[in-house]
Amino acid sequence: MPEYQEQGTNKNDYITIDGHIDWAMIPANTIPKQKQDLPVRLRVGDQNFGKNHIELRHGKWLAQKRRNVCEMLWEKLSKSSGKFYKGNKKEKDRVKLYVRISPEAVLLLEKQYDKTDKTHFLSVVTIYTHTPKHDEEEIGVYLSKYRNPNIKVLLPMG
């Protein structure tokens, strides 16, 4: 099993997986206007985003699936393929990533900039069970091979 570690308690602190802040890397040009590789990162967050938000808003679903936030996120990023969809008008900087592995889920990702390492990245806003709507516009494909290759241990299914 991978090891998950909070780097601190501030809402903008990262949660590492086996010592890495980058859980996955979305290659350049996977989604429109994406000119560089974008890592996927999970922050400690608060009631509005990140691990704390997911625990508060979707903890019951996670408990039913016998996963914590980090386990569910890693399972989705490492074992699943999915599609990227545009966020709605209220979510102009957000991209939805639907992944299809039981249970079907959506990751809501937001492009952000880390001033410390001068890197653009996709921050995990939330994850929850959801099926894409028929009118949502697909803008790209996610492949499980985008997961961080330095994290070798995968979660068992079940």
Q: What is the pLDDT of residue 11?
A: 97
Tally of CA atoms within 13 A in the half-sphere of 2 that contains its CB:
28
d(CA 18, CA 27): 21
Each residue's pLDDT tens digit, 97-108: 766 555 678 888
Q: Model-level pTM greater than 0.75?
A: yes
The pLDDT score that the predictor gives to residue 69 is: 96
pLDDT for the residue 132: 66
In three-state secondary structure terms, 40 is strand
Calculate helix-pair angle for 50-64, 69-79, nearest 10 degrees.
80
Q: Provide the pLDDT for residue 139.
A: 85
pLDDT for res 152: 64
Chunked in runs of 10, what are the mean pLDDT values of the chain (158 residues)?
Answer: 94 96 95 91 97 96 93 88 74 65 76 93 90 74 88 58
- Residues 118-143: b if buried by 16+ CB within 10 A, e if exposed: ebebbbbbbbeeeeeeeeeeebbebe
In three-state secondary structure terms, 56 is helix
DSSP code per residue over 128-152? EE----TTPPEEEEE-GGGB-TT--
